Structure 1
Amino acid sequence: MRIAYVYDAVYPWIKGGAERRVYELSQRLARRGHDVHCYGARWWDGEREIKLGDVWHHGVCPPHPLYNKNKRSVKQALLFALGVLRNLEGGFDVIDCQEFPYLSCFSTRLRSGGASFFITWHEIWGDYWIEYLGVSGYLGMAVEKATATLTGNNIAVSEMTRRELLKLGAGSIVVPNGIDYSHIQSIRPADSEHDLVFAGRLISHKNLHMLLEAIALLSDVSLLIIGEGPEASRLHSLARSLGVDNRVRFSGFLKYEDTIALIKSSRAFVLPSTREGFGMAALEAMACGVPVVAVRHRMNAACDLLTPETGVISELSPASMADAIQAALDLSRKAGQKCREIASRYDWDVICGEIERVYAERV
């Protein structure tokens, strides 16, 4: 098959769940003999078209900051959508466009010709648009709903996203994100040990302030926070004011392999976020054999990955989180095998086989 992926952010120049999905699937499909192309902004130097691994990358517009004052840039979305309209070639059997930032889905639809047109949905914002943009959020909700009508070939990366798409009147098939399971297994545990680890961006919806308050309710429990973000300074101050700074360590950003090594040497992984379109960090922790604490919320797909044998689901409060953490620590000695067993089902090679079958059935 001749396959095109459309997404403005391109791995490895931009690192995130959607970017990693496009990279992993495109490279594996190409190695299986398919002719695969990726259309994104030109984040690299040099020619407009380059070959990265086994996949051709086409820069349809110059790079532009993805965010403006911590909000996704409308100007950038427009520039990319126009670039797709001008530069997306014909002759593809399959075109898979990532849903965000929406406008490119419309220009891709116009240029798709006879290709089977897919939209991959990483999350549905719904009424979160109002919290994000105020009154202007109603426009975001309308555009999101209109995007869901562009094709009958919607792919959801999680059961949560599938359920939310149904609320927009759109059916979908679930093809989840994945992990490099064998690579994770090859990494040795770190020498330093912590009871708990969090890894991710230090931003408001991760609810790390509540995690620190939960730590204050627990005695002799240590926490390692891996990552950077706009909440860092406030979290440092909060740890001091709660008197837990001697039990909480902030490492800043670390290499992927170092992060995995530290998760492996911990007793539990904590993801207090209320917004996860899939929950990649939770799945990677399970691949390390470590149980996970997640927060119950309709926008948190990480909860769908957990079973009573592999993790604990908390309510959004310090007291509930403290109880869940203690339960996960108690679970840690017997959770390893089941955690790894479930995580192995999400290896990227397995997911690649799933997406290949979905494409072939609809060409």
Structure 2
Amino acid sequence: MRVAFVSFETVHHRDSETNRRLHSVLELLYERGHDVHVFCARFWDGDVPAFERDGVTYHGVSSGLEAKSSFLARLPGMIWAFDPDVVHAGANPPEQVVSASLGGTLAGAPTVLEWHGDGGIENTWWNRRAGRWADRIVAPSEMVATWIRELGIANSAIDVVPDPVDLDRIREIDPNDSVDVVYARRLDEAANLESLFLGLAELRGRDWRVTVIGDGPERPVYERLASDLRIDDRIIFAGDLSLEDRIATYRGAHVFAQTAEHCVFPTEMLWALASGCVGLVEYHTASSAHELVEGWDRGFRTTSEEELADAILAAGDLERRDYDETFAEYDRDVVRDRYLTSYRALQDTSGFL
């Protein structure tokens, strides 16, 4: 299948959650032999119109990120000339969705809109227009789907497709030494690691060890807080780790704590749960993490430090695991098939043949 991905900015311009999400989808398709092309602002040196990296062809629709108007004007014709089976566009900027849809119409191909929602979704004229020009919208969580519906988009036009994890990769990595609780995230202003530390401080009289994975501007603040609470001797700040090392840590851990205030999809938590961790989530209105543990017998949802401390104690009564088949539906193969099924359904029902 020939798929035209449209993303004015890519992971090669800037490493953001939104850009990583779209890149992960194109990787899923490329891995199974599909013909993947990305239409974007040029990020490579020289004036060559196309550039190949890791088997994916990038088309420089504009000379760079400063030429947004040129990108929007040239995009429909370039998609038409490529003649894709499906157009798959990101939502940032929303104007590109309209241009991508025009190109798809010229080429006789449906347009799928990948709306990650990092940073929220404002109810603007362009966002509403983008949502109505797509033939199908994909959101990473029910929370983001709700934001999209608030634009006036019908629920029937939205699919919720999670970020994938690689279950084979998890099974291939040996567990690290045992740890009671693990936390993993960039340590910025939204990390909210203080909630976990305050909950753990309630349990000073018990034996526990914590590993914090990740780095960021707030790390010194959290290190001082751990010292002030007199729990710093039980906490290891491991810094940034490779995915392999993180998986090894999760497979050896008992509980994964998710307390961040903002999260459109808890990808790191999903890796941990599939690696056998019990899930502990502090509820926040701008986080979808609670969706992973609702109705699950190895998950806890809390709203305060006291509830969090109680949940850590309750989690201690659950068996330790280093793998959980419960999350098979999130495997890369399953998520890839969901995208391909959606593409084919659009072609069949919308007359794009």
Q: Write out aligned runs for 1:131-280 (5 A).
A: 141-170=124-153, 171=155, 172-191=158-177, 193-219=178-204, 220-280=207-267
The answer as to 2:304 corresponding to 1:303 is no
Helix, strand or coil at the partner of 2:238: strand
**TM value normalised by structure 1:** 0.81
Alpha-carbon offset, residue 96 of structure 1: 1.1
Tell me if the contact between 1:61 and 1:83 (Cα under 8 Å) persists in the aligned partners.
yes
CA distance in 1, matches of 2:238, 2:257: 16
Alpha-carbon offset, residue 51 of structure 1: 2.5
Q: Which residue of 1 aligns with 2:114?
A: 120
- Runs of 5+ consecutive residues of structure 1 not aligned to the other structure: 64-75, 130-139
Alpha-carbon offset, residue 327 of structure 1: 2.3
Alpha-carbon offset, residue 358 of structure 1: 0.4
CA distance in 2, matches of 1:45, 1:180: 34
Match of 1:313 among 286, 293, 301: 301
Alpha-carbon offset, residue 13 of structure 1: 7.5
Q: Name the larger-Rg structure.
A: 2
CA distance in 2, matches of 1:195, 1:224: 8
CA distance in 2, matches of 1:141, 1:221: 48
Larger deviation, residues 239-248 vs 94-103: 94-103
CA distance in 2, matches of 1:342, 1:92: 36
CA distance in 1, matches of 2:12, 2:171: 22
Q: Which residue of 2 aligns with 1:58?
A: 59
Larger deviation, residues 150-159 vs 197-206: 150-159
Tell me if the contact between 1:6 and 1:38 (Cα under 8 Å) persists in the aligned partners.
yes
Match of 1:93 among 61, 77, 85: 85
Tell me if the contact between 1:286 and 1:310 (Cα under 8 Å) persists in the aligned partners.
no
CA distance in 1, matches of 2:239, 2:251: 18
CA distance in 2, matches of 1:177, 1:118: 16
Tell me if the contact between 2:250 and 2:276 (Cα under 8 Å) persists in the aligned partners.
no
Tell me if the contact between 1:82 and 1:107 (Cα under 8 Å) persists in the aligned partners.
no
Q: Which residue of 2 aligns with 1:133?
A: none
Residues 356 and 258 of structure 1: CA distance in aligned 2, closer, same or farther (over 3 Å): same
Tell me if the contact between 2:18 and 2:117 (Cα under 8 Å) persists in the aligned partners.
no
Tell me if the contact between 1:222 and 1:248 (Cα under 8 Å) persists in the aligned partners.
yes
Alpha-carbon offset, residue 119 of structure 1: 0.9
CA distance in 2, matches of 1:203, 1:303: 21
Larger deviation, residues 17-26 vs 153-162: 17-26
The answer as to 2:351 corresponding to 1:357 is no
The answer as to 2:280 corresponding to 1:288 is no
Helix, strand or coil at the partner of 1:168: coil
Helix, strand or coil at the partner of 2:300: strand
Tell me if the contact between 2:12 and 2:43 (Cα under 8 Å) persists in the aligned partners.
no
Alpha-carbon offset, residue 289 of structure 1: 0.8
One-letter identity of the residue aligned with 1:105: V
One-letter identity of the residue aligned with 1:293: L
Alpha-carbon offset, residue 347 of structure 1: 0.9
Alpha-carbon offset, residue 200 of structure 1: 1.3
- Runs of 5+ consecutive residues of structure 2 not aligned to the other structure: 348-353
Residues 308 and 173 of structure 1: CA distance in aligned 2, closer, same or farther (over 3 Å): closer
One-letter identity of the residue aligned with 2:147: E
Helix, strand or coil at the partner of 1:308: coil
Post-superposition Cα deviations, 1:328-354, rounded to whole Å, max 9, x if no partner, equal: 233243x666xx222221111111111
Tell me if the contact between 2:212 and 2:238 (Cα under 8 Å) persists in the aligned partners.
yes
Total equivalences in the alignment: 334
Larger deviation, residues 348-357 vs 100-109: 100-109
Post-superposition Cα deviations, 1:179-204, rounded to whole Å, max 9, x if no partner, equal: 1111121111113x321111111122
CA distance in 2, matches of 1:325, 1:294: 11
Helix, strand or coil at the partner of 1:3: strand
CA distance in 2, matches of 1:276, 1:123: 10
Superposed CA RMSD: 2.8
**TM value normalised by structure 2:** 0.83
One-letter identity of the residue aligned with 1:116: P
Q: Which residue of 2 aligns with 1:345?
A: 329
Residues 200 and 125 of structure 1: CA distance in aligned 2, closer, same or farther (over 3 Å): closer
Residues 81 and 295 of structure 1: CA distance in aligned 2, closer, same or farther (over 3 Å): farther
Tell me if the contact between 1:4 and 1:39 (Cα under 8 Å) persists in the aligned partners.
yes
Alpha-carbon offset, residue 206 of structure 1: 2.3
Alpha-carbon offset, residue 85 of structure 1: 3.9
CA distance in 2, matches of 1:57, 1:184: 31
Residues 343 and 35 of structure 1: CA distance in aligned 2, closer, same or farther (over 3 Å): same
Helix, strand or coil at the partner of 2:179: coil
Alpha-carbon offset, residue 361 of structure 1: 1.2
